[in-house]
Amino acid sequence: ATTATAPAVFAPTFGEHDRKLEVHLIDFSGDLYGATLEVEFVRRLRATTSFAGIDQLKEQLAHDIAMAREFATAAMGTEPGLP
């Protein structure tokens, strides 16, 4: 199991309105191009938000990743990505 964040919404900050799923694997290094992944949603971090710019978006994504790590550590009793 690998911890991830997965915005399953449109990207209003960039003017996108089509829904899509982007899974961001935390601390993963490798090539998954063409692979099939199974995603399990455990907890919603926040509602969809439009940001004033890329800097605010990056700041929020860093916060989202920190929250996902905390949730994974509490659920698994270990750091995300470790056996």
Greater model confidence, 21 or 7: 21
Which pair of tokens denotes residue 73?
Answer: 């550590």
Secondary structure (H, E, C), 33-81: CCCCCCCCCCCCCCCCCCCCCHHHHHHHHHHHHHHHHHHHHHHHCCCCC
Greater model confidence, 80 or 52: 52
Spatial separation of the C-alpha atoms in residues 7 and 4, rounded to whole Å? 10
**CA atoms within a 13 Å half-sphere pointing along the CA-CB vector of 22:** 8
pLDDT tens, 31-49? Answer: 988 999 888 877 888 887 8
